[in-house]
Amino acid sequence: MTVRLGDIDESNFYQVLDMHRPEGEEYVAPNSVSLAEAWLYRDEHTVRPLAVYDDDKLVGFTMTHDDRTKNIRDIWRILIPEEYVNHGYGSQVIQLLAERARTDGFVGLRLSYVPGNALAEHVYRKSGFSPTGAIDDGEIVMERPVCC
């Protein structure tokens, strides 16, 4: 298994759009919303949507936002379709994003999750995130350094 991140372009755009949240998952926005948000903020050069691959197989989607004022990269989205859940992709995506953030000069990663989303909380804590005590739009904010 070789997990990697790739740009979204004409070769994978419709595959990314066709990805669906796991059945009953109501916490992560559809990829169509994420890609629309990336387009909306395109001139700021702070939002980056990425495809997640296992070798050459598309297995997920993620999107980040750079907060240069705090030198933190926000993970806005991680979506792993149902057929790839519980294969370790979420944890690997977080590690890859941490490595990229460190290379790009950021000191930390930040994300948030909806209270009650036990799977997300488990993956985030396992990946080194801790609650900050802040609540953003009803979601629990967590952070971790990029070094760990």
pLDDT digits (tens, 9 = 90+) for 57-113: 999 999 999 999 999 999 999 999 989 988 999 899 999 999 999 999 999 999 999
Which range of residues forms the domain containing residue 40?
3-145
CA distances from 81 to 42, 73, 90, 139 (A): 26, 23, 11, 22
What is the rounded distance in angstroms from the CA atom of residue 16 to the CA atom of residue 10? 10
Q: How confident is the model at residue 14 (pLDDT cuts 50, 70, 90)?
A: very high
What is the rounded distance in angstroms from the CA atom of residue 63 to the CA atom of residue 71? 17
Q: Is 25's pLDDT higher than 80?
A: no
Q: How many domains does the chain have?
A: 1
For residue 1, the Cα-to-chain-centroid distance in whole angstroms is: 19
Percent residues over pLDDT 70 in the chain = 97
The CATH number of the domain holding residue 37 is: 3.40.630.30
pTM of the model: 0.90
